[in-house]
Amino acid sequence: MAKVSLSSVLAPYTEGVLELELDVVNVRQLFQLLGQRFPDLQTHLEHDIAVAIDNEIFQDALLEPIARDSEVILISKIAGG
Amino acid sequence: MSRNHVSATVNGDQVEFLCETGQTLLDALRDELRLTGTKEGCGTGDCGACSVMVDGRLVCSCLMLAVEAEGKAIETVEGMAKGEKLHPLQKKFIEHAALQCGICTPGFLIAARALLERNPDPTESEVRFWLAGNLCRCTGYQKIVEAVLDAGREMRGA
Amino acid sequence: MSTTLKYEEKQLKIVGTRPARPDGVDKVTGRARFGADYNLPGQLIGKALRSPHAHARIVSIDVSAALALPGVKAVVTRDDFAEMPDEMAPVGELMINFRDVTRNMMAREKVLYDGHPLAAVAATSESVARAALALIKVEYEVLPHVIDVVEAMRPDAPLLNENQYTQGVKPKPERPSNIAKRLEFGRGDVAAGFAQADVIVEREFNTKPVHQGYIEPQACLASYSADGQAELWTATQGQFVFRAQCAKVLQMDVSKIRVTPTEIGGGFGGKNNIYNEPLAIALSRKSNRPVKMVMTREEVFRATGPTPGANVRVKLGATRDGRITAAEAVLNFQAGAFPGSPVNQASMCAFTRYDLANVHVVGNDVVVNRPKVAAYRAPGAPIAVLGVESVIDEMAKKLGIDPIEFRLKNAAKEGTQTYYGPKLGPIGYVQTLEAARAHAHYRAPLGPNQGRGVATGFWFNIGNETTCSLNLQEDGSLTLLLGVIDVAGGSRASLSMMVAEELGIELDRVRPVIGDTSSLGFNFLTAGSRGTFAGGMAAVVAARNLIEKMRQRVAKVREVPVEAVAWKDGRAQPADASVAQFEPMTLTELARMGGKTGGTMAGHAEINAQGAGPGFGTHIVDVEVDRETGAVKILRYTVVQDVGKAIHPAYVEGQMQGGATQGIGWALNEEYVYGADGILQNPGFLDYRVPVASDLPHIDTVIVEVPNPNHPYGVRGCGEVPIIAPMAAIANAIENATGVRLTQQPFSPPRVLKALEGAGKAQG
């Protein structure tokens, strides 16, 4: 089970849940499970969330693999000037 | 709207064009003569991107009416290089990475050439004050100043 | 699958040198063609009618007199564009609320700021177009407006959007609000952290919007043909994103619009968004003529995105021995007329230079009657950092610790847990602080009324979707077709350098060209300091792809196994004499026989670059304060920055010097000045004063190179970081010179004088 944490900025969309363990093999599955569990998070998963897998940030990487013992953190997507 | 006939020389070539009475020299150069090397950054004489020489004087072409160019000798960036040979300032701007986006570059080159014609050996401070009428938003001016000083050295044969 | 190429240390021949930029000669001879330099036969000139009110309901728009004017060929208003629903829609790689996009490019129910477009005309000349604008009759019902962020947050403030309820607040608020979104970041227990502190410093700061100030006003040329295809030439940081947005608002297929990016006269984030482009296409569609639209400088100031103004509160607690125990910030950011300020990123950048156990940051995204903000170099970060680095400086002073030493004691390092999510990878923050401390500038003597300030900045840097092609031409020269825009920084040079390095060939064999939208697949905006990082990764992927194809071709031609073919020093050579011997083959030989041995060869990259490496910088500035006039003069400036790897050091220095200069302007002079009527009073370079050459001293640079492990050459990106620290560094230097802490940006003479007078420290 991957250890999944959510940045505190997402608390309003997950009834305050910020840590959970999920059995997923990639980012797409992670988003599916989280979207089902927290419907308010769905739109954010689609448009403004990036994923740090073992502290490396991935943006728009639905097929990125998540290992069994990975630490996954959901954070805000980053743009720039 | 009736248009005015103007004859002048641009970079040594005799030119004739028609312009509206309110049209600026900048617009005439760009729109009537298709010399688009001279740029518009503000239209109010504050940024220097439209700098040209008129009868040996450095002017903002956005502040001069095209009809006022009658009989005048105008020099623009397009006339700086002699054939394939770049002017030392053009060469030094490239060498010193003194340009980034390049929109302000024609104005800086014209202004810097005017400086070196009057003062072939300027101090860094003299370069900075002479070029204070030209805005560059990319470089922080450092490399522009270095390029002008270096071009001055080369032109003096120092 | 996403792409990351790992860093490999190797001997370099081209990367790290300073060759001339490929766009140099065109730019010094006037030959380079920028947005306004494109023309088509039969073109019309388009101009937009803009609101003279800060906030008003549009009762009616009557264009009949304008249309009747000879020479006027088309007029468009809100009626010519489809209503878009209030929901986030994908466009390119972005999710955007097209309700807002369609209303910002052309007002619908209301005008929301001075300069908001509400009609556009196309005519045979600019003077006719201007005359036509004057003939458009608009009936307004003027509404109360609000431009200050704190006032806009009050429950009784005039509402810009009656259907906007604050997001991020549970349960959903009962009443609509100008606060579009509330964000909250936290880690640890700040109350406990402040209880452990021996010293607490708390300050409030206010900043004004400033503009990117690119010297080239927005310019575009559109040509729509009766078969439903459109061509657009525009100065943009993202030809593909502009295409996607135009297609959406004009309800066209993406493939029916071809966008050619012109040479771009500065962007800094300000050319990430469409303004006139869809209007020009719509006018061209209606008139059946090409339409050119060039903004005036006044239009640029009134209607294109400045950065937010903001109200910032920062509170910091530390122990006597200099450990920060708690950090708290509230960031209230103006978004302009529509939501979307960079408060999210500013919140994440606020404290990320420090290793902190207890942090709490609240951000509010607030709509006000001003132009919609756009990105500006490290969007939002300089504003948050003005507050945080000022308070850090004050804390160091209270504790009697050297300001660099205090930062070092608390500095983020590899493995530091951030408060927004992941742990940091290998970073060079400490190295920049140490290099600054070791610099002669830091020990140079100061005279009377002079002071020295230090401040630091952090930016994430980004990757994202990136495309390029590397075409091997029949004579062995190469065309590098790029999806990233060379916004100014010299990416054409640096990406060509990486390609030449990979292939082991001379740099002048590689000719870089920026592609139009029909020549490559989707490529994200060139923003967030991704050009050399992601563009470079794509260029290396394409080069390696071409090498792979060439190895396979050589193996066939020389009749050896592909494993026997190695690419080295610009030639195919035997990998190992024991496998197979064959006559080496140069790139030129391969190119010549390409057509007869299976076709020409090209390398491609269609990647989503991941693994951006954060950048950190430390700035030192000396100022002299004139106590009679309040004028602040910059005496000396040093920028130290970790860029990962400087592919072309001169262009990296240019980014550091240019970014610092924009930060100096932000600190000392630049601001949007509004009257009580909500009208912008300084929409020109005379009254909006950007730094000029004589304002500045020599700007020294120190490049630190801690390689990004996720880039083949170690690149992090360098454009954003240098604008972050200057404002705070200058505030700290003014305090050091005068003992007075400035909290209202800009630190212009009247404000500085007022602060000095308030503290009894003015003279004369």
Between A43, A58, A80, which is nearest C527 by CB?
A: A80
Topology of the domain comprising B4-79 = Ubiquitin-like (UB roll) (3.10.20)
Instruction: Name the minimum distance, in Å, from the CA of A65 to any CA of chain C.
Output: 9
Q: Do B35 and C30 touch (CB under 8 A)?
A: yes
**For residues C561 and C543, is the Cβ–Cβ distance under 8 A?**
no
ipTM: 0.98
Longest dimension (CA), chain C: 89
Q: Is the peptide bond before C746 cis (omega within 30 degrees of 0)?
A: yes
Residues 6 or more apart whose CB falls under 8 angstroms from that of B153 comprise none
Residues B10-28 pLDDT 10s: 999 999 999 999 999 999 9
Between C170, C269, C611, which is nearest A56 by CB?
A: C611
Distance CA C308, CA C382 (A): 11
Question: Does A contact B via 3+ CB–CB distances below 8 Å?
Answer: no
Residue pairs between chains B and C whose CB atoms are closer than 8 Å: 189
Instruction: Name the minimum distance, in Å, from the CA of C640 to any CA of chain A.
Output: 21
Residue of C nearest to A4 (CA): C421
**For residues C306 and C209, is the Cβ–Cβ distance under 8 A?**
yes
When pLDDT is averaged across residues C253-268 and rounded to a whole number, the result is 98
Residue of A nearest to C170 (CA): A12
Angle at CA of residue C313, ends C721 and C613, nearest 5°? 25
B126 touches chain C (CB under 8 A): no
B4 touches chain C (CB under 8 A): no
Residues C684-722 pLDDT 10s: 999 999 999 999 999 999 999 999 999 999 999 999 999
Residue of B nearest to C24 (CA): B94
Helix (H) or strand (E) holding B106: helix B105-118
Q: Do B140 and C654 touch (CB under 8 A)?
A: yes
Chain C neighbours (≥3 Cβ pairs under 8 A) are A, B
Instruction: Name the minimum distance, in Å, from the CA of A73 to any CA of chain C.
Output: 6
Q: Do B101 and C651 touch (CB under 8 A)?
A: no
3-state helix, strand, coil split of chain C in percent (to 5) is 30, 25, 45
Give contacts of A7 with chain C, Cβ < 8 Å.
185, 420-421
Secondary structure class of C286 (helix, strand, coil): helix
- Confidence check: pLDDT of A80 > 80: no
When pLDDT is averaged across residues C576-603 and rounded to a whole number, the result is 92
Nearest alpha-carbon partner for C185 in C201, C168, C172: C168
Residue of C nearest to B135 (CA): C692
Give contacts of B129 with chain C, Cβ < 8 Å.
693-694
Q: What proportion of chain C, given as a percentage, has pLDDT over 70?
A: 99
Q: Do A12 and C272 touch (CB under 8 A)?
A: no
**For residues C355 and C327, is the Cβ–Cβ distance under 8 A?**
no
Q: Which amino acid is at C568?
A: K
Which CATH number among 3.30.365.10, 3.40.50.10860, 3.40.718.10, 3.30.1330.20 corresponds to the domain C24-32+463-609?
A: 3.30.365.10
Between C1, C185, C423, which is nearest A63 by CB?
A: C1
Distance CA C478, CA C542 (A): 12
Q: Do C217 and B100 touch (CB under 8 A)?
A: no
Distance CA C145, CA C337 (A): 11
Residues C89-105 pLDDT 10s: 777 667 789 999 999 99
Give contacts of C527 with chain A, Cβ < 8 Å.
79-81
C124 burial (CB, 10 Å; 0-12 / 13-18 / 19+) is middle
Q: Do B86 and C29 touch (CB under 8 A)?
A: yes
Q: Do C266 and B103 touch (CB under 8 A)?
A: yes
Q: What proportion of chain C, given as a percentage, has pLDDT over 90?
A: 95
Q: Structural domain of residue A42, as residue ranges?
A: 2-76
Q: Do B102 and C696 touch (CB under 8 A)?
A: no
Q: Do B44 and C684 touch (CB under 8 A)?
A: yes
Tell me which residues of chain B, numbers 80 to 119, contact chain C at a CB-CB cutoff of 8 Å.
80-81, 86, 90, 93-97, 99-106, 109
Q: Do C1 and A74 touch (CB under 8 A)?
A: no
Nearest alpha-carbon partner for C693 in B142, B81, A40: B142
A60 touches chain C (CB under 8 A): yes
Q: Where are the domains of chain B?
A: 4-79, 88-156
**What residues does C94 pair with on adjacent strands?**
C91
Give contacts of C377 with chain A, Cβ < 8 Å.
81
Q: How far are the Cα atoms of A48, A80, C185, C358, C360 from residue C418, in angstroms, in the given order?
A: 19, 19, 10, 11, 12
Strands C510-514, C478-482: pairing is: parallel
Between A47, A58, A75, which is nearest C420 by CB?
A: A75
Angle at CA of residue C29, ends C28 and C33, nearest 5°? 95
Q: Report chain C's mean pLDDT, rounded to a whole number.
A: 96
Between B102, B139, B143, which is nearest C32 by CB?
A: B102
* pLDDT recorded at residue C3: 67
Place of tokens 């125990």: C325
Residue of C nearest to A75 (CA): C421
Q: Would you place residue C1 in the very low, low, confident or very high pLDDT band (cuts 50, 70, 90)?
A: very low
Least-confidence region, from C470-479, C571-580, C665-674: C571-580
**For residues C146 and C158, is the Cβ–Cβ distance under 8 A?**
yes
Nearest alpha-carbon partner for C479 in C456, C464, C496, C462: C496
**What residues does C119 pair with on adjacent strands?**
C49
Q: Do C488 and B100 touch (CB under 8 A)?
A: yes
> Residue A53 is part of a domain; what is its CATH number?
3.10.20.30
Q: Do C460 and A63 touch (CB under 8 A)?
A: no
Q: How many C-beta atoms lie closer than 10 Å to residue B65's C-beta?
A: 18
Q: How far are the Cα atoms of B74, B140, C238, C253, C540 from residue C524, in angstroms, in the given order?
A: 43, 27, 6, 18, 18
Give contacts of C661 with chain B, Cβ < 8 Å.
139-141
Q: Do A75 and C170 touch (CB under 8 A)?
A: no
Residues A54-77 pLDDT 10s: 998 999 899 999 999 999 999 988
Distance CA B49, CA C638 (A): 28
- Give the distance from CA C76 to its chain's centroid: 31
Angle at CA of residue A55, ends A53 and A60, nearest 5°? 45
Q: What CATH class is the domain C380-461+613-758?
A: alpha beta
Secondary structure class of C492 (helix, strand, coil): helix
Chain B neighbours (≥3 Cβ pairs under 8 A) are C
Q: Do C685 and B43 touch (CB under 8 A)?
A: no
Residues 6 or more apart whose CB falls under 8 angstroms from that of B8 comprise B15, B69, B70, B71, B72, B73, B74
* pLDDT recorded at residue A47: 84
**For residues C140 and C109, is the Cβ–Cβ distance under 8 A?**
no
B36 touches chain C (CB under 8 A): yes
Distance CA C364, CA C184 (A): 9
Distance CA C619, CA A21 (A): 43
Residue C296: both structure tokens together: 């005036």
Give contacts of C344 with chain A, Cβ < 8 Å.
9, 76
Q: Would you place residue C2 in the very low, low, confident or very high pLDDT band (cuts 50, 70, 90)?
A: low
Instruction: Name the minimum distance, in Å, from the CA of A80 to any CA of chain C.
Output: 4
When pLDDT is averaged across residues C545-555 and rounded to a whole number, the result is 97
Q: Where are the domains of chain C?
A: 24-32+463-609, 380-461+613-758
When pLDDT is averaged across residues C143-152 and rounded to a whole number, the result is 98
Number of domains observed in the structure of chain A: 1
CATH number of B88-156: 1.10.150.120
Q: Do C685 and B133 touch (CB under 8 A)?
A: no
Instruction: Name the minimum distance, in Å, from the CA of A56 to any CA of chain C.
Output: 6
Domain-embedded: residue A64: yes
Task: Indicate the pTM of the whole model.
Answer: 0.97
Give contacts of C525 with chain A, Cβ < 8 Å.
79
Instruction: Name the minimum distance, in Å, from the CA of C585 to any CA of chain A.
Output: 39
Residue C110: both structure tokens together: 């209301």
A70 touches chain C (CB under 8 A): no
Distance CA C703, CA B121 (A): 31
- Confidence check: pLDDT of A81 > 90: no
Residues A16-53 pLDDT 10s: 999 999 999 999 999 999 999 999 999 889 888 999 99
Residues 6 or more apart whose CB falls under 8 angstroms from that of A47 comprise A77, C88, C90, C95
Residue of C nearest to B76 (CA): C30
Q: Is the peptide bond before C171 cis (omega within 30 degrees of 0)?
A: yes
**For residues C671 and C208, is the Cβ–Cβ distance under 8 A?**
yes
Strands C179-187, C199-207: pairing is: unpaired
Chosen for mutation from C7, C464, C530 (greatest number of chain A CBs closer than 10 Å) is C464
- Confidence check: pLDDT of C763 > 90: no
Chain A neighbours (≥3 Cβ pairs under 8 A) are C
- Confidence check: pLDDT of B130 > 90: yes
Least-confidence region, from C44-53, C83-92, C665-674: C83-92
A61 touches chain C (CB under 8 A): yes
Instruction: Name the minimum distance, in Å, from the CA of C666 to any CA of chain A.
Output: 16
Between C167, C269, C423, which is nearest A81 by CB?
A: C269
